Structure 1
Amino acid sequence: MIFCVSRQPKAEWIARLGTVRLSGNAPWQQERAVVGMVKSPVEGSTVVMVKLERPVTLSDFVHPVCLPKEGASLNLSYCNTLGWTRNRELLKRIELKTSSMQSCENISIPTVNSFCSEPAYPTNGCNEEELAGSPMVCLQSDNRTWTLVGISNWRIACSKLGTERPRMYDKISSNIEWIHSITSAMS
């Protein structure tokens, strides 16, 4: 599992998988305690890998996403992220497009590992509040494979116009070597 964390002791972290409502308790929902964390050593990256108390069960509601292959070009023409509605009750999908780093000025703090995106279609300001750690996944040319291309980092503010919601993401491609080294050490 890859996501962004704030400064809380790891003993307090629980991973919830397969849920689309925070207050719900669906039979397919899974919860696992986080028993270990490793922060990426990549400059400017806020990506953290976590170790769960026990493996998750793959299902129609919980399944892995592909990682980019080292050096491979990615199709970024159809990408999505997930975001909680303002009341943090319902998980929604937001279609994204990459944009210039200028779009993210005054929204977040860029690093050498950052890229900027915004909704593919205008949305109402910050009605959906994707949190730090939200994935940016893109459908690849085979129309079957979703690849994780970024993890959102903290946003300082919303855009002034209210109809744009640029978001800064950490690149997963620059973390691939580190991810593989951690996962092979755990096998």
Structure 2
Amino acid sequence: MTRLARAAGRLADGSSTLARRTGARLAAWVARARRDDLDGWRAALGCWLRLALLTLGLYLLWRLVRFLPALLWLLSAGWIAAAWRAGRAPSPEAPEEAPPVPHVEAVRRLLLDVMGDASRVHLRTVLAHLQEHGQWEGRKVADLRAHLARLQVPVSRSVKVAGVPTWGVRRRDLEAPSPADPQEASTAPSTAA
């Protein structure tokens, strides 16, 4: 592979990664506007407002570029620089390690923290929380559901929050003992008298 082909591949990979990250962050930002204390179309008004703001921002950017075409060079240079950084290959000295698998109890605590005082939480809310904190970017609810299933965390299909049923977890399922955790048997002799 030539040097030019490697550079083009790095830019293409970085651009793809950057587009995926940006899309995931914008989608998470829009999803966070959903109100769980309301139901029906009122719960989604915040999402629609944020979508309208994004559309307005893109329109204004388009109008600005039409008015000042030289601005496109600056925007393109910024995108290329960000794509170059995002497409950086891992260094050969440090082999890429598999991410550590979190302990089941740490995942349960996270789910309970996201749940707060409620008795249930949707997986899309958990995913938005994770993405807000720089984790699970570019992933979907189905990925989170599969990950929780591998950890044997109970996930239900029809969890209702604010009258909307979808994939989620219930507090009563999280507080039950995990099938993955071994039962501690007492090895001390019985001292019944």
- Tell whether the structures are fold-level matches, with TM greater than 0.5: no
Taking structure 2 as the reference length, what is the TM-score of the superposition? 0.20
- Larger C-alpha radius of gyration, 1 or 2? 2
Between structures 1 and 2, the one with greater helix share:
2
